[in-house]
Amino acid sequence: MNVYDQHTDQTLVGLLKSGDQQAYIEIYNRYIFVLLNHIYNKTGDREEAKDIVQEVFTRLWAGREQLEITSSLAGFLYTAARNIVLNQITRKKVEGKYFDSILKFLEQPQTITDHRARENQLIALIEKEIAALPPKMREVFELSRKQHLSHREIAEKLDISEQTVSKHITNALKILRIKLGLFAYLLWIIYPK
């Protein structure tokens, strides 16, 4: 019998702050589906909703010792999810502006031949960095970005969970952003092989 499901949210938060994994699991089980539905209704994208909810719970565990909840636990989790959604929207708008400016720049006739050589060098560098990723992460990443498989298709093909697929892709993108810098990363997204 699970005694944690008898605890109030406030009690669970107290236990969570002290590092109690069972309290964390109970909070997760209590709120995972309502948060997924809430975020899906905001984004219209199930994969993105899963990623956002995963990030909410990852941050909850990572920041448990400094956790200060002034309202309800549900309100705290909804606010955390909303903030992540807003940050992603802002980031997408900024990335969109970068993409547009890079595309306009690359489409200028006088710069095409000069920049094709640089672009080819960048593509070679990107391929080298992808090849340096850990084997399973690289395989998942390439299935996603080069073969355009969904998280579910990759999970089925490799016999792993969709959450693991999402984690591998997120980590690969972080590594590539750090190693390649923004410009090379954006070029790779615009001109995937």
**What does the pLDDT look like over 58-74, one tens digit per residue?**
988 988 888 888 888 98
Question: In terms of C-beta distances under 8 Å and separation of at least 24 residues, what long-range contacts does 48-53 make, across chains too?
Answer: 48/88, 50/151, 50/162, 50/163, 50/166, 51/166, 51/170, 52/81, 52/84, 52/85, 52/88, 53/81
Q: What is the pLDDT of residues 39-58, one digit of tens each?
A: 888 888 888 889 888 989 99
Tokens of 62: 């990572």
**Residue 193: what pLDDT?**
44
Q: What share of the chain is helix, strand, coil (3-state, %, to 5)?
A: 85, 0, 15
Nearest to 50, CA basis, from 16, 84, 79, 75: 84
- Is the per-residue pLDDT at 186 higher than 70? no
Q: What is the pLDDT of residues 27-41, one digit of tens each?
A: 999 999 999 998 888
Q: What is the pLDDT of residues 77-90, one digit of tens each?
A: 988 888 888 877 77
Distance CA 100, CA 121 (A): 21
Q: What is the pLDDT of residues 148-178, one digit of tens each?
A: 888 899 999 999 998 999 899 888 888 877 7
**Residue 158: what pLDDT?**
92
Tell me what the mean pLDDT of segment 110-125 comes to: 66
Mean pLDDT of the chain: 80
Most confident of 13-22, 80-89, 107-116, 175-184: 13-22
> Residue 7 in contact with residue 1, Cβ under 8 Å?
no
